[in-house]
Homo-oligomer: A and B are copies of this chain.
């Protein structure tokens, strides 16, 4: 056992870490995922070595920044748990996400890094909150016959981010994304149309 009593983390380390995260939000949010990390360090007022000590890889920095942003989205999902109309709750939640993304456009590029690889592990807790809340709503939608079987919270997130990501900033960005997203949500209904040619289908 020995003494596991570690020394308290140094105050300057904590402060610099926070400074770096703030700087990263700004610089990466503006310059996209290829922004210079030296610029981030400079904006934070620390040396480049300090940045790399705290965040050994570019991904580490993205993950940390992104986690902070995501907490808010998890809260929204929670707040919609008891909503009376599940399908509209889903729609509302997705729209909120889009609105949120809208303000962080520059971070979009980072999504391709963040939403991939082993982010499941990195975001297990947050992801759990969101997934649980959304799946809860989906289950109620299935029960009420509004939503087909086999849809997961991940499907929704995936599609939403995909649509946000693919569309370049522009005057009609949001309305276009929402329009396509609504079509997708409409498609969540139980076989709105026979899904594939092989099905005899009702006349």
Interface residues of A (CB under 8 A from B): 34, 85, 87-88, 91, 109, 111-112, 115-117, 146, 151, 155, 158-159, 161-163, 165-168, 176, 179-180, 182-189, 191-193, 195-197
Asked whether A158 and B180 contact (CB < 8 A) given A88-B197, A192-B189, A193-B192, the answer is yes
Instruction: Tell me the complex Cα distance, A104–B64, Å.
Output: 31
Instruction: Tell me the complex Cα distance, A187–B186, Å.
Output: 5
Chain B residues lying within 8 Å of A158, measured Cβ to Cβ, are 163, 166-167, 176, 180
Asked whether A184 and B184 contact (CB < 8 A) given A159-B163, A165-B165, A166-B158, the answer is yes
Chain B residues lying within 8 Å of A112, measured Cβ to Cβ, are 109, 165-166
Asked whether A189 and B184 contact (CB < 8 A) given A165-B162, A166-B161, the answer is no
Most buried by B among A34, A155, A183, A188: A183
Q: Please name 17 pairs of A and B residues whose Cβ atoms are closer than 8 Å in the assembled complex, sorted by A.
A: A85-B197, A88-B196, A115-B168, A146-B193, A155-B180, A158-B163, A158-B180, A159-B180, A161-B166, A162-B162, A182-B196, A185-B187, A186-B189, A186-B192, A187-B192, A188-B193, A189-B193
Min distance, Cβ A35 to any Cβ of chain B, angstroms: 14
Min distance, Cβ A82 to any Cβ of chain B, angstroms: 16
Is there contact, CB below 8 Å, between B165 and A166? yes
Min distance, Cβ A151 to any Cβ of chain B, angstroms: 8
